[in-house]
Amino acid sequence: MKSFFKTVLAVVVGILLLQLLSLFLLFSMIGVLGAMESVESIEKHTVLTIDLTKNITDKEVTEPLSRLSFGNFKLPEQNALYEALRAIDYAKTDDKIEGILIKADGLQMSINTAQEIRNAIADFRSCGKFVYAYSAGYGQFPYYVASVADSVFIHPMGELMWYGLASQNFYLKDALAKWGIEPQIIRHGKYKSAVEPFMENEMSVANHEQTMTYLSSMWNFTTNAVAEARQISTEELNMFAEGRVAFLPKQALEAELVDGIYYADQLDSMLLVKTGLKPNKKLRTVSLHDYSQYVQEQKSMDLSAEKIALVYAMGEINDGDEDDDAIGGDAYAEIFSKLRQDSTIKAVVLRVNSPGGSAFASEVMWRELTRLREKKPLIVSMGTYAASGGYYISAPADYIVANPLTLTGSIGVFGMYMTYGKLLREKLAVYPRVVKTHSHSDIGSVMRPLDDFERNLMQQSVENTYSIFLSRVAEGRKKTSEAVDSIGQGRVWSGVDALRLGLVDELGGLDRAIAVAAERANITDNYCLSVYPKKEISFFDGMVTDFLTSKVKLAKQIFGISDPEQELVDNIERLLKKRGIRAEMPYMIEIR
């Protein structure tokens, strides 16, 4: 009887699980189909709303179901940067769009992406249409974007923050020693601080110097932009950051940081008048996401248009194949090889958004990019990061366009792995025993540290890799290796400083890099983009990914793990797994 009830229970549970899965699949399809609905038309007297809390990324996620929300079975808005920029540009001449409203309650995109959106909005203003900004409370970077508006408004209970930039890191030397973990580290470059947190408990003078340099460069750029937009001196803005930090609405108005204090309904009334609608009418708005789709539908595909390839190189550089979060050296080398041989592709834009990674994978890609450049124009667009290995693969380009806030350079190399022998012996009472035919047969074992002979071997590899790295940059930038070394040594630079040092050719965004590619290919009048890497959408994989992600989020809530704590754990775990020679920038740079 007991066995019978177990069997019945198993069958009931199986049926329930099957029904739940069926419901999940049904709602998933409904959510996806709903998300894919097209915007058929835009009414006249419409305001284009740009919500800074909606993420804009370099490229769309290739598996949309992995972003499906279990709460409402809807896909979150997904904006690709180039399409967003194209939509804002299209709105300049669209007689149905009266103006833009920037909703600045937060910032979910990178500051580099935000800067490109800000530039596009500034260009939009040249057509004579209005741009308003509104927030219940301005954070520093949302305000930076909002400051480009004709008029900046704030809620009566809001607050405006302005406090400067800071970078935070965690140093782990004693923590690792406490657990018997011994880092084996060889590096070249006094600024190569990716491994410093494992070697020290304090930031080195060199690392402090480079960090202060790029923070100051980024701060000066953003402050100058706000000063110009708001007609306030940079000296006054720096005084605000030092002595005021937080502004109540009336204080912000007195400081001329905002132009008015209004409730949301009062703003709507203003917008109705501004768009020429009667006060009793409903305000007509369209989101940037929906308007981007609308713009894409308006521009029919021209089969006679010349093609420019747009290759997204996003994430850490690894050996082998790529995925959504990493750049696989072999897979990307194959893409570059195919583009070189494809006569329909007239130019290539490589969008680099990477802190680097495997030096070997970087060299594999460098080779194919060099061959590609010999056949057609190769233009690099730098996003948030294009550092170390990210700069390695940028070096072969004919022309490099960097965002002013890009973190780039970091031309240096390190080798690192962790040994756990002391942890096993002293903490866990585990005693590994090794039999070997020669003195160094177990070189690289995680059970013991390197001896002097082995350390020297590893240093030779690091020095050789650094020398090759220098030569690749010197060749690409038409400099001597000595000149590159003087600004290398692992040092990180902002895009602004990189231009001054000759590491990049121009400050600008993705749209500018594409324009340069078209100019160099002599196809400025009629061209279209072909995006790489191309991937098939996996329904099942996306569904499983979201299911597992939701469980992780639930566990984090139960155990009280915050996102910043999880980010720290993830970054430490990521670096602990690294082995071999790396061309990578500092493992964690958090700017706020």
Q: How far is CA 288 from CA 56, 77, 103, 138, in A?
A: 10, 10, 11, 20
Q: What is the CA radius of gyration of the chain?
A: 27
* Among 162, 382, 130, CA closest to 252: 162
Matching residue, tokens 């609905």: 37
First CA to last CA across the chain, in angstroms?
A: 64
CA 556, 559, 564, 568 dihedral sign is negative
Tell how far CA 15 is from the center of its chain. Answer: 43
Distance CA 233, CA 229 (A): 10
Structure tokens of 78? Answer: 């997904």
Rounded distance between C-alpha atoms, residue 137 and residue 104, angstroms:
8
> Beta-carbon neighbour count of residue 373 at 10 Å?
18
Q: What are the E-state strand segments in 82-128?
A: 97-103
Query: What CA–CA distance (Å, rounded) separates 110 from 218?
Result: 13
Distance CA 270, CA 221 (A): 32
List the beta bridge partners of residue 400. Answer: 380
- In terms of Cα–Cα distance, which of 434, 459, 461, 428 is closest to 446? 434
Of residues 124, 88, 110, the one with CA closest to residue 351? 110
Phi, psi of 3 (to 5 degrees): -65, -35
What are the tokens at 255?
């400081």
3-state SS, one letter per residue, for 202-232: CCCHHHHHHHHHHHHHHHHHHHHHHHHHHCC
- Token duo for residue 570: 């993830």
Phi, psi of 175 (to 5 degrees): -65, -45
Q: Please tell me which residue in 193, 292, 388, 394 is annotated as part of the active site.
A: 388
| Cis ω for the linkage preceding 586 (within 30 of 0) | no
Relative to beta strand 246-247, strand 130-135 is: unpaired
Joined together, the tokens standing for residue 228 give: 């110009």
Which of the residues 54, 59, 129, 192 is marked catalytic? 192
Residue pair 375/348 in contact (Cβ under 8 Å)? The answer is no
- Distances in Å between the Cα of 335 and the Cα atoms of 256, 265, 364, 497 are 51, 52, 12, 31
CA distances, 19 to each of 13, 24, 33 (Å): 10, 9, 21
Measured CA to CA, the distance from residue 370 to residue 392 in angstroms comes to: 11
What stretches of 403-453 adopt beta strand conformation (E)? Answer: 407-409, 413-419
- Find tokens 């194209």 and name the residue: 86
Q: Are strands 246-247 and 46-51 parallel, antiparallel or unpaired?
A: unpaired
The answer to whether residue 494 is catalytic is: no
Q: Is 388 a catalytic residue?
A: yes
Residues classed as catalytic: 192, 388
